[in-house]
């Protein structure tokens, strides 16, 4: 009997390197590790690194600003001066983890996550008047072991959900997507005003209006929507006590106006150079110095030039996203990214105007800078969704946007 022939040793082809597993590491484990490293490399190449840098810069400024403002709020509660600063660093860590996790999602997965989160937070808004926790005269939080503010987590999900519905027009132009999104917006605004949270309601309505305009609202309908908005504001003034008191206080003086006036005087108290860290005194009289009026604390202790830098950073963030979208061809991506940016930029715009005594007090934080649990994590999650939605293959060439071609298409 002829013995079986021994198998010839496999010789790697020319130019190939034979795979030699490392000692103690299974080949499958090594492949998974290499695959994960490859995915991270692709993620780093595709995300908008300039946008990420702007966001991280604002968060770094926020950490320093909360450290400066923490004593003003902590002493009222008889806790350590850096109590809120320590908590803020923890929430920033959680927020960064949420941002990173969301930014690694494919666009379709980010869209689905935003839609599910949106409907879940609407259910949360329904539950707030029933079982919510009352803090400082407002019922906005759900105590689920951890205090959760549904309106904050609804903000990024809201923009994605509205963009998803408005993008249905590409499949069927006859679908009443504007009426559908308008109904959702009205429900959300009504639930927010029950808390009461008139400032957030205004922000949600503004984001909806921006998305509707961008999605192709006929010009003849813009005046109708505008007139309806004016009518809603007038009706709100006469029927909604919270809004009427804030507007009257801003125009004629009162408690809320005194707070805004104090914030404006604190903002300019340090001049252009500022008093220096922990050397400000006006901030000690500010209510909510670490949240609503943190911009004024920055002005007093770090100077007006730092306030100007912050404004420039917000403008750069908005401009960066809009310029990146000029080359975008997908309607959902265009609408969702614009909505997320409008929400973040609009909130910053309102907060800064309040601190400058140019807008009634709204109880709205300065995004990515103010102290907050739900707000910090939710804003970072929104940035993560924005990074995921605007991910782009750097080697894929696109037709560039031009005003001439845009004008020719009208």
> Could you state, in order of their start, the residue ranges of all structural domains in the chain?
46-392
Q: Which of 365, 344, 373 is nearest to 156 (CA)?
A: 344
Q: Spell out the per-residue pLDDT of the chain, length 410, in tens.
A: 455 554 445 555 555 555 555 555 556 666 666 677 878 888 888 899 999 999 999 999 999 999 999 998 888 888 998 999 999 999 999 999 999 999 999 999 999 999 999 999 999 999 988 887 777 667 788 887 777 889 999 999 999 999 999 999 888 888 888 889 989 999 999 899 888 788 888 899 999 999 988 887 666 666 676 677 677 667 666 666 666 666 666 666 555 446 777 888 888 888 888 898 888 888 888 888 888 899 999 999 999 999 999 999 999 999 999 998 987 888 899 999 999 999 999 999 999 998 888 887 777 899 999 998 889 999 999 999 999 999 887 766 555 444 344 333 33
The predicted pLDDT at position 404 comes to: 43
Write down the pLDDT at residue 100: 95
Residue 3: per-residue pLDDT? 53
* SS3 of residue 147 by DSSP: strand
Whole-structure pTM value: 0.83
Decide if 401 contacts 327 (C-beta within 8 A).
Answer: yes
Residue 132 and residue 140 in contact, taking contact as beta carbons nearer than 8 Å = yes
pLDDT, residue 407, reads 39
Residue that has been written with the tokens 């006929």 in this structure:
218
DSSP secondary structure letter of residue 141: E
Give the pairing of strands 138-143 and 147-148. Answer: antiparallel
């Amino acid at each position: 009997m002829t013995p079986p022939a021994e198998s010839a040793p496999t010789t790697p082809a020319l130019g190939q390197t034979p795979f030699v597993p490392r000692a103690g590491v299974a080949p499958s484990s090594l492949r998974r590790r290499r695959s994960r490293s490859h995915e991270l490399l692709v993620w780093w190449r595709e995300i908008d690194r300039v946008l990420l840098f702007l966001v991280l810069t604002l968060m770094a400024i926020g950490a320093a600003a909360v450290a400066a403002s923490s004593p003003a709020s902590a002493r009222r509660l008889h806790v350590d001066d850096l109590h809120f600063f320590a908590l803020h660093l923890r929430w920033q860590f959680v927020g960064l983890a949420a941002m990173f996790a969301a930014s690694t999602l494919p666009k379709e997965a980010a869209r689905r996550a935003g839609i599910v989160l949106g409907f879940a937070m609407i259910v949360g808004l329904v539950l707030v008047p029933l079982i919510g926790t009352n803090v400082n005269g407002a019922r906005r939080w759900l105590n689920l072991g951890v205090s959760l503010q549904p309106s904050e987590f609804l903000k990024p999900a809201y923009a994605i959900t509205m963009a998803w519905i408005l993008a249905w027009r590409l499949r069927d132009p006859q679908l009443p997507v504007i009426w559908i999104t308008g109904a959702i917006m009205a429900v959300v605004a009504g639930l927010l005003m029950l808390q009461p949270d008139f400032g957030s309601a205004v922000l949600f309505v503004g984001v909806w209006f921006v998305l509707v305009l961008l999605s192709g609202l006929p010009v003849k309908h813009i005046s109708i929507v505008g007139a309806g908005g004016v009518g809603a504001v007038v009706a709100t003034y006469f029927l909604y006590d919270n809004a009427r008191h804030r507007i009257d206080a801003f125009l004629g003086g009162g408690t809320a106006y005194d707070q805004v006036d104090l914030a404006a005087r604190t903002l300019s108290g340090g001049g252009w150079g500022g008093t220096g860290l922990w050397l400000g005194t006006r901030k000690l009289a500010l209510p909510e110095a670490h949240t609503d009026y943190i911009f004024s604390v920055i002005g007093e202790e770090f100077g007006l030039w730092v306030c100007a830098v912050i404004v420039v950073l917000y403008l750069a963030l908005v401009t960066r996203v809009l310029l990146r979208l000029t080359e975008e061809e997908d309607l959902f991506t265009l609408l969702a990214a614009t909505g997320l940016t409008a929400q973040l930029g609009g909130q910053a715009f309102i907060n800064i105007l309040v601190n400058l005594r140019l807008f009634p007090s709204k109880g709205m934080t300065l995004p990515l800078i103010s102290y907050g649990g739900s707000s910090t994590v939710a804003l970072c999650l929104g940035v993560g969704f924005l990074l995921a939605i605007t991910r782009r293959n750097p080697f894929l060439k696109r037709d560039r946007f031009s005003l001439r071609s845009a004008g020719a298409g009208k």
